[in-house]
Amino acid sequence: MINLETPRKFRAFVNQAHQVAAEMLRPNSRRYDLAEHEYPVELDMLAALVDGLGASGTSSGAGAAGVRRTAAGEGVVNGANLSSVLSIMEMCWGDVGLLLSMPRQGLGNSAIASVASDEQLRRFDGVWAGMAITEPGCGSDSANIQTTARRDGDDYIIDGEKIFVTAGGRCDAVVVWATLDKSLGRAAIKSFVVPKDTPGMTVERLDHKLGIRASDTATLRFDNCRVPAANLLGSPEIDADKGFAGVMQTFDNTRPLVASMAVGCARASLELTRELLADAGVEVDYDRSVHLQPAAAATYLQLESDWEAAYLLTLQAAWMADNGQPNSLQASMAKAKAGRSANDITLRCIELTSTLGYSEHELLEKWARDSKILDIFEGTQQIQQLIVARRLLGKSSAELK
């Protein structure tokens, strides 16, 4: 049975994450939103603190780098996945873009943690890794990746282009998804760790965005980019039955992380909106029926219930990963619910607070802009719904498109 209270061993760590969000991230939120592509130097000290907590074992898995699926055992485990989503919720209560800019906490780090061998985990320890999946002609359909990797002696040669790479300009390395053989479809797709100084890999441009402007988003090109064969994550063998499943396990770990980002951002909007409503004389009364309350209060209660559902789904998906249970369905459900709810909640909060919410006087308008990407990256809303339908109906990707 899942106990949905914050585990006692994580409470101090979660409180620390909240303090960091309140004292460092949120005060710098507007500054780095306006100064797009300027590196948030304050994060260097924060990253050093997180590294220290991780080395001491205090963090129990801080951020993406700490996430790794554990084998099923006796008893209930509250491990790195649950710790990560709880801490990320607090950090994104502060600022989503700054959380995504934290050194050594990239989405690529979670990919490494998901499928790397023990030797690779040691070798890439301390590396800040972005993740390169999306291509100009391939967005949500990851199985249609066109970037190629061909074996040449002890190396692989990668050719192709990747877009919308989070932290692509700042990270130390990129986890690149590429196909070993296009004719074999999704089974031949593998992921490679490519250091940023590798010849043949170039940062083509940094993109201007609607939200998460503190985080750099890059377009990368690979032209005859030679990578050691040892940098292929997991097995180099092509297995038509489960070859793509190993790579997709990355999403089972990262989708709850993105869901937790959405939950944190939405919670920030709800808390500020309630304060602004109270200042305007509108009190939310949990002891009265919504039909007997002002329209603004009734709307707020509905938004809060959506948030609660997203929160619980996110905890469930992370808890299952910690306890060695297949969580592909729950990871997609959490991502779908949290991503859509966060976008709805932040926009409705602007409606409830009127001009205060729409202006830059408050951070509500920024949170609304930031929330949209959380409904898109790591698999769009529509893709999550498709995955959920396949799992519930027992259909394959060929049977249900």
Res 103 pLDDT > 50: yes
pLDDT of residue 177: 94
More confident residue, 13 or 362: 362
- pLDDT confidence band for 66 (50 / 70 / 90): very low
The tokens for 102 are 């934290």
pLDDT of residue 252: 87
Give the least confident one: 39-43, 170-174, 252-256, 287-291. Answer: 252-256
Highest mean pLDDT among 97-111, 172-186, 200-214: 200-214
Give the least confident one: 3-7, 158-162, 205-209, 383-387. Answer: 3-7
More confident residue, 251 or 242: 251
pLDDT of residue 134: 93
Q: Give mean pLDDT, residues 180-186.
A: 88
pLDDT of residue 209: 96
**CB-based contact 255:209 (threshold 8 Å):** no
Distance CA 93, CA 262 (A): 9
Res 229 pLDDT > 90: yes
The tokens for 99 are 């959380």
pLDDT of residue 265: 98
Q: Give mean pLDDT, residues 247-259.
A: 84
Q: Give mean pLDDT, residues 111-124.
A: 90
pLDDT of residue 243: 53
Structural domains of the chain, with CATH: 8-123 (1.10.540.10), 129-231 (2.40.110.10), 243-393 (1.20.140.10)
pLDDT of residue 107: 85
Q: Give mean pLDDT, residues 119-140.
A: 91
- pLDDT confidence band for 63 (50 / 70 / 90): very low
- pLDDT confidence band for 294 (50 / 70 / 90): very high
Give the least confident one: 68-72, 79-83, 231-235, 239-243. Answer: 68-72
- pLDDT confidence band for 138 (50 / 70 / 90): confident
pLDDT of residue 148: 97
Q: Give mean pLDDT, residues 84-106.
A: 94
Which of 295, 381, 322 is CA-nearest to residue 79? 322
Res 53 pLDDT > 90: no
Q: Which residue has the tokens 């919720």?
A: 89
Give the least confident one: 76-90, 146-160, 342-356. Answer: 76-90
pLDDT of residue 56: 46
Distances (CA, A) of 275 to 8, 352, 356: 29, 12, 12
More confident residue, 104 or 118: 118
Res 246 pLDDT > 60: no
% pLDDT > 90, the chain: 72
